[in-house]
Structure 1
Amino acid sequence: MSIIIGEISYTNILPFFYYLDREKLSEQNCSFVPQVPAQLNQGMSTGKIDIGGISSFAYAENAENFTLLPNLSVTSYGAVNSIFLFSKTPLKELDGKKIALTTSSATSVHLLKVIVEYFHSLTVSYTMMKPDLNEMLREHDACLLIGDDAIRAKREQGHQYHCYDLGELWYQHTGLPMTFAVFAVRNATLRDHPSLVGLVYRSFVDSKLKSEAIHYQPMISDIVKTHGGEKAFWDSYFENLCNDFGHREQKGLSYFFELLAIWVIYQNK
């Protein structure tokens, strides 16, 4: 009996993992696989990973095979501060232009398409690329970066470009929060190992609550050492994220899925 836990390799997921008793979980034959969202999404869909954080879009693609874990998510009410469109021109001038998309995430890529094509009625072409700001913008007019890649690029080179926060753009158009990642378990794993799934789930919840209770300290001090940036930025970053998945967060995500369905129908006309 064992469970493989997917751990997104970005700082925004850390509150759920920072206080896990990894030794205790290891004794219960749990192991951790740290990867970017796109890799974890694939691992969950193929059964190589049993439980953990995945892109919201990946859940939608596999909803019949996954069960959502209650009250856990990475959500923003407005600016998320780690998902940016870097553009050489204002957003409204991107019609007919080329955008490079990170290969690291599915949710943010599709959210950008909804914003650009549905909200702003722009026609653009896309290229999937590894997350490297300079390489992406070498032959493209704009690029999408997420997670720590986006935070670092914004800090070091953001002043050179028009920077658009996708969480903020979504909130401006909908008035709803945007859930970028959810926690899910494969139905087969839940069926075969319900007690162990419960232990892992409670561990996620306990870590989240402890992180929130002490305002993400000393986690943030560790992040400054490993990722750089000012402590004030990271303090604000985590305080502005929502780690819950209640009615309001579910409503925002449901609306995103509705718009995606409309966008797909429009694209196939």
Structure 2
Amino acid sequence: MSVVIGEISYTNIMPFFYHLDRKMLGEHHCQFVPQVPAQLNNEMALGRIDIGGISSFAYAQHAQAFTLLPNLSVTSYGAVNSIFLFSKVPISELNEKKVALTWSSASSVHLLKIILEHFHSLSISYTTMNPNVKSMLREHEACLLIGDDAIVAKREYGQSLYHYDLGELWYEQTGLPMTFAVFAVRNETLRDHPSLVGLIYRSFLESKRESELKHYQPMIDAILKTHGGKRSFWEHYFQKLCNDFGEEEQKGLSYYFDLLYKMNYLSQPINKLHIWDGAMSK
């Protein structure tokens, strides 16, 4: 039986995948399946993917079925540079207005709801759409884009639209990091294949370390060919992201979950993050 690894195609999660020994993992019956975040969240919930980097909100929805892997996340302390609210008007003028949401993320969508409804006390009408600035703003005052879609939109519309970095807005209000994605494994997979999960975990960790050690340069070379942009942007982008998941990142994530429960976006409170304590011993 193979273990299925979900692989998000966004650049922000590439440090964990770029330097993987895929041949070795394939010989150990690991299978990689490319997904966008929303698809991966759904496939893991259905049990068709065993392990991967999922939206933090998706973990909260299925916390009893998943175990988190330590030291791995997509987190920002302040600006994340790839999750933006683009708006025709200042954020303070969005009350009673319509906002279009990308369908490709859960964490960022709910972070935006916290920012608009809790921090700014605004009443908003939301529509979920395909991530395209022009079509989203045709009948909406603002739109949320994430990942590479947001990076490209910032290049094209950064001068003509108001734009707000959600990581920066969160940090200004809380002083805490925001963890957008966590690495999770299904409990059944961890129970049935602990040694293989350990191998996959250490492979993720080693890819992360090598990415950081090389200052992301080989990965940036590849990104420039596929995504364009300037090297200086990508260097700044990856240096600003936090790839860890320690005590402070967990504190920020727990506060995010607390707010979502208070706002009735989670049906149950997340009183404890279930983190694998045997990660390095297997």
Assess same fold via TM > 0.5: yes
The alignment partner of 1:189 has SS state of: helix
Residue identity in the other structure for 2:81: N
CA distance in 2, matches of 1:166, 1:133: 17
Q: Is 1:69–2:69 an aligned residue pair?
A: yes
The residue aligned with 2:12 is 12
The whole-number CA distance in structure 2 between the counterparts of 1:150 and 1:100 is 13
Unaligned runs of 5+ in 2: 268-282
Provide the rounded CA distance (Å) in 1 between the counterparts of 2:266 and 2:191: 38
1:91 aligned residue: 91
Deviation at 1:243, TM superposition (A): 0.2
Q: Determine the C-alpha separation between the residues in 2 that align with 1:266 and 1:147.
A: 24
Rounded to whole Å, the distance in 1 between the matches of 2:125 and 2:163 is: 19
- Partner deviation per Cα, 1:46-96 (whole Å, 9 max, x = no partner): 001000100000001111000000110000000000000000000000001
Deviation of 1:266 after TM superposition, in Å, equals 11
**RMSD of equivalent CA atoms:** 1.2
Q: Does the residue aligned with 1:95 lie in a helix, a strand or coil?
A: coil
Alignment check: 8 A CA contact 2:260 2:266 kept: no
Task: Among all aligned residue pairs of Structure 1 and Structure 2, give the percentage whose two residues are the same amino acid.
Answer: 71
Q: How much has 1:214 moved relative to structure 2?
A: 1.1
Mapped to 1, the partners of 2:199 and 2:30 lie a distance apart of 10
Aligned to 2:248: 248
Distance 2:132 2:192 in 1: 41
Cα offset, 1:159, TM superposition: 1.2
CA distance in structure 2 between the partners assigned to 1:16 and 1:265 by the alignment = 30
Aligned residue for 2:150? 150
Q: How many Å separate the matches in 2 of 1:230 and 1:149?
A: 16
Q: Which residue of 2 aligns with 1:112?
A: 112
Q: Structure 1 residues 199 and 63, CA, compared in 2 at 3 Å: closer, same or farther? A: same
Structure 1: distance between partners of 2:266 and 2:255 = 16
1:158 deviates by: 1.8
Separation in structure 1 between the aligned mates of residue 107 and residue 251 of structure 2, nearest angstrom? 16
Structure 1: segments with no counterpart, 5+ residues: none
Aligned length: 267
Shift of the alpha carbon at 1:265? 7.6
More helix by percentage = 1
Residue 273 of structure 2: aligned partner: none
Displacement of 1:160 in angstroms is 1.1
Q: Normalising by structure 2, what TM-score?
A: 0.93
C-alpha separation between the residues in 2 aligned to 1:133 and 1:33?
A: 28
Distance 1:262 1:195 in 2: 38
Structure 2 letter corresponding to 1:235: E
Partner of 2:127: 127
**Structure-2 residue corresponding to 1:48:** 48
Q: Corresponding residue for 1:260?
A: 260
Q: Distance in 1 between matches of 2:124 and 2:189?
A: 41
How big is the shift at 1:8? Answer: 1.1
